[in-house]
Structures are given as structure tokens and as C-alpha cells.
């Protein structure tokens, strides 16, 4: 039985499989990077806005600035800031909405949401 050219076929099949797995791992790393960046930006902006000399608008600006610096301008689709009361304490809440990156940085709109909280110290 002749096996001439079998190594080429094996290389193509295995190479394609390894390439797909490698690209999937890169995409998973990108998804985790975006998620962690959003979580950090939301919590950092909440802490920044909760300082004594800052406002909720400062927190929103900080969140937008952090996300624009990390993932590019306009990646975050919605930033909302609210002040709630819980157990007699004022809590600043910063929420970010962005696409879940499925292919590169592109994906379904508003499918990833992160929220950060901080106690207002005034």
C-alpha cells in the first residue's frame, strides 16, 4: 500500500485543528481582558466619584476616560451613574455596557455589563 503524500494531508489536518484552537484561546483571552478592564473601570470610577470633592458626573467622565484609554474610543456603549441608599449609607453605582467580543472586538451590542459600587464619603 502506497502512502505517498500522507504526511502532507496529516500536516494540513492537524495544522488546521491547532490553528482553530489557538485562535479560540486568543479570543477567550480577549474576552477576559475586556471583562476585567470593564470591571476595573467601573469600580475605579465609582471610588473616584465617591470622594468628597467629586460628583456623579466626575465618575461617569472617569469611566469613559478609562475605557477609551484601554479599549479605544467609543467601545463602551452606555455609562450610567446612580446614587442609592443602603443601610443609611449613600452608595454610588457606575454601570458600563459594551459588546461582548466574539470576533475580535466585535459582537452583540450591550451584551456585557459591569457595575462598580462605592460608599460616598462626604
Per-residue model confidence as pLDDT tens digits over 89-101 = 999 999 999 999 9
Mean pLDDT of 92-120: 91
Q: Is the pTM of this model over 0.85?
A: no
Q: How far apart are CA 41 and CA 99, in angstroms?
A: 15
Cα separation values, 44 from 18, 50, 58, Å = 39, 10, 12
What is the chain's alpha carbon radius of gyration, rounded to the nearest angstrom? 22
- pLDDT at site 39: 96
Amino acid at each position: 500500500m502506497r502512502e505517498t503524500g500522507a504526511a502532507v494531508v496529516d500536516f494540513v489536518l492537524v495544522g488546521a485543528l491547532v490553528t482553530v484552537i489557538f485562535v479560540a484561546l486568543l479570543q477567550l483571552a480577549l474576552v477576559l481582558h475586556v471583562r476585567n478592564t470593564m470591571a476595573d473601570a467601573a469600580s475605579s470610577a465609582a471610588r473616584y466619584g465617591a470622594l468628597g470633592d467629586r460628583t456623579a458626573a466626575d465618575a461617569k467622565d472617569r469611566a469613559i476616560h478609562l475605557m477609551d484609554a484601554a479599549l479605544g474610543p467609543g467601545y463602551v456603549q452606555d455609562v450610567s451613574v446612580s446614587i442609592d441608599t443602603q443601610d443609611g449609607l449613600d452608595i454610588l453605582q457606575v454601570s458600563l455596557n459594551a459588546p461582548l467580543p466574539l470576533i475580535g472586538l466585535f459582537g452583540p451590542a450591550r451584551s456585557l455589563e459591569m457595575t462598580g459600587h462605592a460608599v460616598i464619603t462626604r
